[in-house]
Amino acid sequence: MNDLHSPGHERYDRLTQWFHWLTAATVIFLFASAHIWENLAKGTDLRRGLQSVHISLGIALAVLIVLRIVWRVFVGTHLPAHGSPATRLLAMLGHLALYGLLLAQIALGFMFRWAQGERFEFFGLFAIPSPLATDHDFAHVLGGLHDKVAWVIIILAGLHACAALIHHAVLKDPTLRRMLPVPRR
């Protein structure tokens, strides 16, 4: 059995792992909740509730992504990607694309809500008022972009997950294990 602490078997620090898995879970919930409420009758409590949680978690995701980027740049564990120079470049570009798309998606979500003339509420604790004038045509454009970017994020995240599984099952390298917590002995 390989020693998890030998060279090449390093793990990301615990906070980096938490940021990664919280981001993944939040993105999946946000995507699913939006597609579930689209199939619910307008004005129902469940639809409004899903929208409210979606908005609150979108605000939380904004904070999470900013903290995650600050942590990654200034503090977090930096591990080299495994594979050829081409696969390392693809991994770097994939990560940059995910970060960029998540930031764009958050900005689109905020602007979409504000263009609708709506303020944000974070789980009913506080509200973020709209700095934009209501513009339903602009809101429609932003809503379409918000939906399209969501699909691109889900597809890219799916490819990211598939790549991690290929590293684990086919290439037999520690790429996936580096993002998992150390098992307790």
Inside any domain, residue 122 = yes
In the predicted structure, residue 16 carries a pLDDT above the cut 80: yes
Residue 6: predicted pLDDT: 42
How far is the C-alpha of 52 from the C-alpha of 48, rounded, in Å? Answer: 6
Inside any domain, residue 114 = yes
Give the residue numbers spanning the domain of 40: 14-179
Inside any domain, residue 185 = no
- Its pTM stands at 0.87
Reported as a pLDDT band with limits 50, 70 and 90, residue 101 is very high
In the predicted structure, residue 35 carries a pLDDT above the cut 90: yes
| pLDDT tens sequence across 113-160 | 999 988 788 998 998 888 888 999 999 999 999 999 999 999 999 999
| pLDDT tens sequence across 73-86 | 998 878 878 778 88
In the predicted structure, residue 7 carries a pLDDT above the cut 70: no
| pLDDT mean across residues, the chain | 90
CATH number of the CATH domain containing 60: 1.20.950
In the predicted structure, residue 50 carries a pLDDT above the cut 50: yes
Local structure of 2: helix, strand or coil: coil
Residue 93: predicted pLDDT: 95
In the predicted structure, residue 183 carries a pLDDT above the cut 70: yes
Residue 5: predicted pLDDT: 42
Residues 6+ apart with CB under 8 A from 168: 175, 176, 177
Inside any domain, residue 170 = yes
Inside any domain, residue 130 = yes
Inside any domain, residue 2 = no
Reported as a pLDDT band with limits 50, 70 and 90, residue 9 is low
Residues 6+ apart with CB under 8 A from 20: 12, 179
Inside any domain, residue 7 = no
In the predicted structure, residue 30 carries a pLDDT above the cut 60: yes
Is the separation of the CB atoms in 185 and 170 below 8 Å?
no
Inside any domain, residue 4 = no
Number of domains in the chain: 1
